[in-house]
A and B are shown apart, each in its own frame.
Chain A
Amino acid sequence: MCRAAVFQLDASYRAVGASPPPELGSARLAPREETRRDPWEELPFGAPAGAWRLLARLRPSGVRRSRMWRSPLRGPWLTSVFGAVLLVTLPLVTITGLLSYIAYGPQFGQAFPREVGWLRLPAFDWPTSPAWLYVLNQGTHVILGLVLIPVVLAKLWSVVPKLLEWPPARSPAKVLERLALLLLVGGVLFEIVTGVLNIQYDYVFGFSFYTAHYFGAWVFIAGFVVHVALKIPRMLAALRSRSPRSVLRTTRAETRPEPLDSTGLVAAEPAAPTMSRRGALGLVGAGSLLLGVLSIGQVVGGPARRAALLLPRGRSYGSGPNDFQVNRTAEAAGIDPADTEESWRLVLRSRNGTSRFFRGELLGMPQHTATLPIACVEGWATTQRWTGVRLRELAVLAGVPEPTWARVSSIETVGAFRAATLQSNQVLDPDALLALRVNDVDLALDHGYPARVIVPALPGVHNTKWVRDIEFGSD
């Protein structure tokens, strides 16, 4: 079998027009008989050994590792490179995701899902400075998540022989480990799929995105921690097995399979390479770069926005002062324009009572202008120049100069985000506004006319539009 394998390899080299590497020449066939032994096949069986051995013998016909997996690139080194990249980056995606949950204000019951049992995150007052904090958080979460898709797919490609290996397990330990892998692979794919659909407003899955994405993350975390803890020694050893520099210097013709080992990743009968290892790494990197270039524009905005060709937030609305990204149109929110005209009053409430202001009165108060981003959980942002009354001055007007919270409600009666509670620091920040104007003109109806909240570093949907009343509390 081994001899045949070598000849076959030799033949496939010629078939793709390459000369076989010298080490496969017939002169060295004899010692290779020894080295082509497959250490994976010789792994020991756990208890009960008889049962595992029997299972191994019951191999379905067709499930032959050597025949199914021929790529000469697969091996522990390549898998470990992808693994190392994901080891560093996936925690960043996870942590920014969890931070976003906290940014929504779980202490006010306005982070979704609301009921999380013991999976409650430590709540702290989300800062208002720097103003771009939420842009950075969500930009990292979404863009990095997108950029990692090719790496995740490549990692799965590199380990796919393990999926159909026979026997599927040789010990109780292996059974448990494989089940834990389901959490990891299922978790990461589920998070990618739900996330990718959500940023494109496609809710085909029919369940709450927030609930699924939050709990899916915990399942992923469970699988990830186990996998990292169990595989880190092997990853480090595999990474040390060859220098990146030598890989980057190796052309396709010089590319050799990694030594056959007990990981079961290396092809037992490798085909001739059609791509070098550096080529494969470059291909994955290019895929990531492609997704990065096509999505970063919706975070940084400006002229770069146009590069986000395939995402919702890469599109232009025009060049007027109100022509920037709309999050939920007035039409979708069921806003009756008549309710925003002369009859509109801003209602301020507190324990001291209620007061009402019409828009002209608000415009007559000291106006403050701040350049602030609206940053959405979906990883897009738009920075504009807002003008209006400081929230802290409204708090003084309501007789609560040191509020611990403020509840802002909208004219809107249907949406999940028709009201939001702000923390003390979010009311008192000098740039936290009840904006009446944007870029020196009145707000457009789609942007919240007659008045909207804009607070530095606050998740986009909590910048309530079409504000009807604000209640200040100090309890």
Chain B
Amino acid sequence: MRVLLRRFSRAYGAAPHQPLLVLGAFALTAYVVVLLVPDSSFTRMLVWFLAAVVLHDLVLFPVYAGADRLLRAGARRGRTAVGWVNHVRVPVLGSALLLLVFLPGIIRQGEFTYYAATGQTQQPFLGRWLLLTAAMFALSALWYLVRVMRSRHLGVGRDGN
């Protein structure tokens, strides 16, 4: 029996409990699909489900990885005594994160439902996001300045964290 199991594991590529777990998960998912198929917006949900993965893996990730590559290339060219890459990265990432999460308010999407729910408009959000972005860049620049001064003072300045 044990030999048989070991042989199975080798041919299949994992221990025997793996297929049980995975197939269990597929069964649950299939059940969810069966429940949802009669829903008139099932296709929409499916599209959003798959789009979430595709947009992350094939749009969001390549965009930020590519931007970072450009940034690093720029850093190699414009080298300074005190590394500045992370002083750009951090505020850019902070700002992008806020844009990503709070996009509806910032671009005023869903204006009607927003107004119905709150009795207010989304007017201030774009400005606030820009101010937050500006603040993050300013703090980062200030911190960079401090590091430059300190490195001049101490005569060292290489580590970038």
Contacts and interface: CB of A to CB of B under 8 A. Distances in A.
Interface residues of A, number: 92
A16 to B, nearest CB: 7
A186 interface: yes
A264 B86 CA distance: 27
Interface SS of chain A: helix, strand, loop or mixed?
helix
Sorting the interface of chain B by its residue count into under 10, 10 to 19, 20 to 34 or 35 or more gives 35 or more
Interface in B13-36: 13-14, 17-19, 21-26, 28-29, 31-32, 35-36
B143 interface: no
A51 interface: no
Contact of A202 (B19, B79, B86, B113): B113
A47 B109 CA distance: 51
B52 A189 contact: yes
B98 A251 contact: no
Nearest to A175: B13
A95 interface: no
Interface string A415-440: 00000000000000000000000000
B114 A16 contact: no
Interface in A435-462: 446
Given A160-B57, A312-B114, A329-B119, A252 B25 contact: no
A222 B49 CA distance: 15
Interface string A110-142: 000001111100000000000000000000000
B147 interface: no
Contacts, number: 239
B30 to A, nearest CB: 10
A357 interface: no
Interface of A: 15-18, 44, 46-47, 115-119, 146, 149-150, 156-157, 160, 163, 170-174, 176-177, 179-180, 182-183, 185-187, 189-190, 192-194, 196-197, 200-208, 211-212, 215-216, 218-219, 221-223, 225-226, 229-230, 251-253, 274-276, 278-279, 282-283, 286-287, 290-291, 294, 309-313, 315, 317, 325-329, 331-332, 446
22 contacts: A116-B35, A119-B32, A171-B14, A173-B14, A182-B53, A185-B53, A202-B110, A206-B44, A207-B48, A222-B24, A222-B26, A225-B25, A251-B159, A283-B89, A286-B90, A291-B97, A310-B125, A312-B114, A312-B117, A312-B118, A328-B116, A331-B116
